[in-house]
Structure 1
Amino acid sequence: MIVPEKESVMPAVKPEEFRRRAVALARQGEKPVREIAKDLGISESGLRRWMSEAAVEEGRAEGMTRDERAELVRLRRENRVQAMEIVNRPGFSGGRVVPATTVVGC
């Protein structure tokens, strides 16, 4: 008997307002995080991650904020582009010493 493979489906991205309200519900502590996540149709680990991210954004925990992470991504991209521009310049030797060519017959 052949059993069809289950497709791995990524959950839909939830709106920011949904995330904020879910975090607020979890912080109230009236129900366990697991139960709140189940009621909202999301994973417990996802809700806990949102809670951690919210704590960082609010300055209550160590870590990189969304803005800091976006800046890091932008700067790394700029560095890659600049590195490629240097590598693609005429005469780039990759740090090796290239002997000068001698012109014969002058």
Structure 2
Amino acid sequence: MEGRQRRSFTDDYKRQAVDLVASSGRSIGSVAKELGLRDSVLRRWVEQRGARLEPTAATRRPPTQATLPSADHAAEIARLQRENERLRMERDILKNCPAQWRACAA
């Protein structure tokens, strides 16, 4: 039995996730859940980038149309990553399936 493959994320994705935590005012746990990540992973990214979780009044800005799509975009990326993981698992199962069973399944 093979172990789970380690997922890798681009620096751009990590930056967007950290920006979402910093700009939304939501907890790391809630953002991580929305993105399909573990809390500890997102917390490490936030710490590595030195992001402030509670912006000061001077830097805080109300949500605008420019910030809202990034949350939707990040959620869509997370959904697609989960779907991709499921499809890879199904593919791997079918690879190990005997040839005569594949003909019946199709």
Normalising to structure 1: TM-score of the pair? 0.42
Greater RCO between the two (CA within 8 Å, min separation 6)? 2
Which protein is bigger by CA-based radius of gyration? 1
